[in-house]
A and B are shown apart, each in its own frame.
Chain A
């Protein structure tokens, strides 16, 4: 019997406040200082306050604001502003080009963007309208009257029927269900589909029928509207009685009513003040690193532009001479030609207008389009990332970050749940120092096999029960056998705790076989299922009672139904890390049941059971190292007086309008639960260990002697100081060793393990740098037991400190902060609700899909975007440089080389489509090879395709090509160009150059593509054809307006000469020859990794992914599981559960397939479902 009699209240707790840290998670805003008072059922009283109406508008624009606001949005892009400026410049007489040159592409770009905006906004508007006009019944003159949602006002009493949606945030008054409860589904809010209970205050239960409800005259005092979905504080004043309100009474707009005939409530917040609407803000949009680098490139281009213009301006001011009388400078001396400086000044702007095409205006629009298609068509629809079991495809929630996925250097993963898929089974337990459960976890088996031991098939006792969530077998506990164990009472309390302390809802028949448990998390369901199998069958819940059918309690074989009255529930949250329930037995006994993480439970255990404590801790470590997730349960008996005094404080804290959370936390300090027992769940999956004993480990833990001593002395300040010292010492020493071992060749891989307590001090500004440099030297870093805030801190430490691209992946609400802190956040749409997904940039169904997301989509996307950007840069530079070279031969006057329309359509028509096709279909190696050679991913991390070196190569290519196009054509067109001795004029030459340029630039796309689909041919051919067709038409018409028809008939004149065809063959080939030689030499002597991989597999035809999928599907879960386990390294480290890991990406993806990827001992997380495809090339 380990029930402790002593009960010491930590008296300091009420005075000592936990140091207040400002934690900003999500978009929770500080609460407004004042309160809102709502008079129910009394529209007149509410009149003066002027609450907002219930109609909502999610549109960005209306008819009048659309143009100004939409244009304003567009002109926040610097490139558009630039072009607007240039367009204005080109209206002035200093412009060498007609305004059309710059206005046409700009308006084309704006038009496309605005149409998209308008379309999206129209859809939003239609949605709003249909919502605002849906009907709701409100109470008017003792009757239910249907009115549209938009006419609903604060204070109205409304009736919502089954499966209806709540039109506003509503205070729940009464329901047709007994006990004033109703069930709501919050899927629209947080994506969780399990039903939640809401409970009305007992005082208002009667206001159900219209006659009665119209008598209701309450006054609600509550917080101002805010966006925190899970908090609500307020009081209901009915007949001068103040009743505290909690989130339990608030029905949020967006939720729907389930399993309840109808409910009646009073409207508290309407329209845009509802919590869901206040939450409906845009997720802070992240910009990809590549895009930021792109800005730098644009700035560089701009500098080049300014330099070019300066050269031209200086040249012009020197060259211009009045003696060039034919320029008309003599007769009417314009003031602009007065002196060299003025000439230079104006020429500068003339040239800026002329060379404006160097800035790729359509670049951003094109990239946006490409990324949008990539995310909606490729990522969202990838069958490889579709999880059939849960029916979830991958989903890119933003299209901004596609290429960021190809450059991730550090992955931060939530281990629990994320890596483990959250399939929970009750597997082992330790009660009162005795370990139960004869199952062998697969990690243990794997370890044993590696040691050469043959593990015999576990012998299951006949009739062992196995169902979802329960995989436990031990004859000592089953079927009432626990009565004969040394601690039968403890066993009994354990089972009761399992059956009572939870928030599970039973559904369906009240029989053990047919009941379905609705649980917020899978471990809760597993625990209740376990209790059921131990003979404590939880079958019914009312707001105040829990009904348990207990077997074998009084004596073997006896079954009795017991009703426990639930007095208080303290729900689980991530800071408290425990959940407690106070219940009253039918015989009046008061018991507190508690379950939670081992750290928090052990802290609160009663004194004097050191031996059991020690044994239990050993068991915990053993369970932990076998890959089990652990949970500690505890209970204590309460005497009524203690309980009453606590309860009073508890209620006070609950009804406080302000700081309720904090006060509740303080109240919790009064609990000192008593040691009980331990109970395990198997993480039924590829449990992953990131550290093995080949690695040199640095462990920084709060379990050192010095700290323990300090803790025993109990002085908080002292403890903090000692921990800090220890952490400092540990970090310094580890860093020295780490740096030392880095200098030695082939030193061991490094790993760092740090626990949450130490991490708190290590993240201190003084130690942060040390921690960072140590972590960066390590292959993997495991942070145990850390809070969400710390997760985010560690992430941003690496993000900001090391300037590396980080990715966070997690599945639970506790990962939200980390997901938002990283460059790329990935949510697993698993079982722990949707909060992580809501905060994420990409959502996938399974951790293993990260491989596809990063190695395939991310890598390709990076490659594609890089190529697109480089190509844009190249094509605009080439085009503008020909113009620049020409300027040298025009006395720097800024005469345009090309016709206005040629120049304006060059970007948006003649070279627009092939590059988009490139951005969609470019593949260097196939998807399967991408996964087979994960090392290829390094090219993204090193940013191999968007370095300044690459930019320089492209720039020199542009210089070369523009020189070839310009010089070859001008040199060869001197003199007569046909047998009738005729001569070309300026526009003939420029059209010739333009034709060569369009061909060269378009064909360049084919030269740079690794994978040429028919769309490449169509668009490249189409673009060249489009130019010719345009030229035929454009050169064939005359317009009646005062316009210089320079190019009239030019193309026909050109095509009537042999010269045209000779040049057309020569110039594009010569201009592409340079790039061709470069590519040939580069591939021959300095090949990229992907090129070698291409060569290795050059004879393999790309087997259809469909085959691949089938192979994957053939893998049964058992196969997959045992395969994964067989891939795990042996594992000896002792830890007990929660961990927060940040390994290098290789740890996750080092693939067993890669023949040339060396097997590394520390590559642990093997993909279960990836199997070697047959290497024999398929022949068709």
Chain B
């Protein structure tokens, strides 16, 4: 803090032309402004019981209808879930499932599902994996977006370890995510009242987000050296199809947030009637047995709000209900034992006598 020399020079400099500005400079009276006097116009909300009750009421009035709407939307959805990971292993092989799944034999398996309710098209086919940590740190980072997008960047594989190259050649698509591509396949046939063995086509186009297809996966990037390493993690890719058309891969590579997740497998473009039986001929290729992961097949319709998920509806209803209840409780309390606003007896110095 150099106080004097500074002021010395400045006042020395100023002394010459000081006279004119002397009177102005002399008054140190601060200028009035609402900001410096801390008088900015302000809203001063006081959380009075009235406001509290009103807020609760408003919330419940808005939330309960919304809850009903979203619950209805969710209830409209028809969903068939079938867990097959255990059942699709022949009884003798169940002692060592990993050996079975890693073995070479035919792993076909038939599942029969009955449609409980009319399902209007489109009907979405999902596979659901559980206890599969697609959000694991090592897993999530093991990919190269640059490589997926453009041929020029196919050597950008530093993030992909340990699935970065095979025999010195870069793998396209590299990384653990692509390497562990899900490869169970489902073929569906339908037995309805009058017809049996009807083939249900599963449309696999348009199952990935458009933005992924258009921008993240290149139209001229083709798989290279894929699954050529010592270990095979999952499914293989058609080397003649560009990545942007390999929608299974695109879906798989949008990694899931939680260890239990669904991924879109395909769409059925026809209605299913109540009582129809669906035979699913599936190839049980994917190894979730090493880590005790579950596999499920899901057929589901959607509403405008998405699939079957009551959470939003229930949450809205619960919160709305709680708010209504609270509003009621506060009102009763207010009537039974009112607290007068601004009651000076509540002031601490009036409450505690003899406070020093």
Contacts and interface: CB of A to CB of B under 8 A. Distances in A.
Interface residues of A, number: 136
A64 interface: no
24 contacts: A124-B6, A188-B8, A282-B1, A324-B136, A325-B233, A331-B231, A391-B26, A391-B28, A893-B137, A970-B258, A972-B315, A975-B307, A981-B302, A983-B126, A984-B257, A1012-B44, A1042-B146, A1069-B59, A1084-B339, A1095-B46, A1095-B48, A1097-B342, A1105-B39, A1156-B350
B258 to A, nearest CB: 5
Contacts of A327: 133, 136, 138-139, 176
B132 interface: yes
Nearest to B147: A1042
Contacts of B179: 326, 328
B28 A392 contact: yes
Given A324-B290, A860-B38, A1091-B46, 6 more contacts: A280-B3, A326-B179, A890-B133, A976-B306, A1049-B212, A1096-B344
B273 interface: no
Contacts of A1015: 40
Nearest to B180: A326
B37 A383 contact: yes
A165 B9 CA distance: 8
B154 to A, nearest CB: 11
Given A378-B36, A1053-B211, A935 B347 contact: yes
B156 interface: yes
A161 to B, nearest CB: 12
A723 to B, nearest CB: 31
A1152 interface: no
Interface in B243-293: 251, 254-264, 267, 287, 290-291
Interface in A1011-1042: 1011-1015, 1038, 1040-1042
Interface of B: 1-10, 12-13, 15, 26-33, 35-49, 52, 55, 59, 63, 66, 70, 122, 124, 126, 132-146, 149, 153, 156, 158-159, 161-163, 176, 179-180, 206-209, 211-212, 215-216, 229-231, 233-234, 251, 254-264, 267, 287, 290-291, 300, 302-309, 311-312, 315-316, 319, 323, 326, 330, 333, 339, 341-344, 346-350, 353-354, 356
Chain A to chain B: the 10 pairs with minimum beta-carbon distance, closest first: A976-B307, A1095-B342, A254-B4, A58-B2, A1096-B342, A1049-B211, A981-B124, A985-B254, A381-B30, A975-B307
B165 to A, nearest CB: 12
A963 interface: no
Given A325-B233, A1040-B146, A1098-B342, A393 B30 contact: yes
A829 to B, nearest CB: 11
Contact of B145 (A276, A1044, A1076, A1158): A1044
Most chain A Cβ neighbours within 10 Å, of B8, B66, B140 = B8
Contacts of A42: none
Nearest to A1006: B45
A981 B267 contact: yes
A386 B30 contact: yes
A350 B137 CA distance: 10
A1063 B44 contact: no
A335 interface: no
A652 interface: no
Nearest to A1012: B43
B260 to A, nearest CB: 8
Contact of B29 (A332, A383, A1042, A1104): A383
Contacts of B35: 377
A978 B162 contact: no
A1058 B348 CA distance: 51
A860 B38 CA distance: 11
A1137 B122 CA distance: 99
A935 B348 contact: yes
Interface stretch (A17-25, A126-134, A515-523, A755-763): A126-134
A746 interface: yes
Contacts of B161: 328, 332
A127 B138 contact: no
Contacts of B26: 391
Contacts of B207: 981-982
A386 B27 CA distance: 11
B311 A971 contact: yes
A413 interface: no
Contacts of B141: 1044
A302 interface: no
A1062 B66 contact: yes
Contacts of B206: 980
A1045 B216 contact: yes
B22 to A, nearest CB: 13
Contacts of A128: 5
A607 B315 CA distance: 97
Nearest to B326: A1077
Interface string A380-402: 11110010100111000000000
Contact of A921 (B38, B55, B143, B158): B38
A1070 interface: yes
Contact of B319 (A131, A1052, A1073): A1073
B306 A975 contact: yes
A81 interface: no
Contact of A983 (B29, B40, B261, B290): B261
A502 to B, nearest CB: 28
Nearest to A254: B4
Most chain A Cβ neighbours within 10 Å, of B5, B59, B139, B302 = B5
Given A326-B132, A1053-B211, A280 B1 contact: yes
Contact of A985 (B9, B256, B347): B256
A923 interface: yes
A1038 B46 CA distance: 48
Interface string A759-799: 00000000000000000000100000000000000000000
Nearest to B266: A981
Contacts of A1045: 145, 216
B74 to A, nearest CB: 10
B140 to A, nearest CB: 6
Interface string A1054-1077: 000111001101100110010011
B130 to A, nearest CB: 12
B124 A976 contact: yes
Given A283-B1, A1156-B347, A983 B264 contact: yes
Given A972-B309, A972-B311, A1084-B339, A779 B356 contact: yes
A119 interface: no
A381 B36 contact: yes
B42 A921 contact: yes
A321 interface: yes
Interface in A200-227: none
A112 interface: no
A326 B233 contact: yes
A1102 interface: yes
A1010 B262 CA distance: 47
B300 A981 contact: yes
A1013 B8 contact: no
A893 B136 contact: yes
Contacts of A1042: 144-146, 153, 156, 158-159
Contacts of B347: 935, 1089, 1092-1093, 1156
B255 A985 contact: yes
Given A889-B258, A982-B264, A985-B255, A130 B36 contact: no
Contacts of A981: 122, 124, 126, 207, 264, 267, 300, 302, 306-307
A327 B48 CA distance: 56
A983 B263 contact: yes
B324 to A, nearest CB: 13
A267 B7 CA distance: 21
A308 to B, nearest CB: 16
A511 interface: no
A890 B134 CA distance: 8
Given A134-B12, A976-B124, A189 B302 contact: no
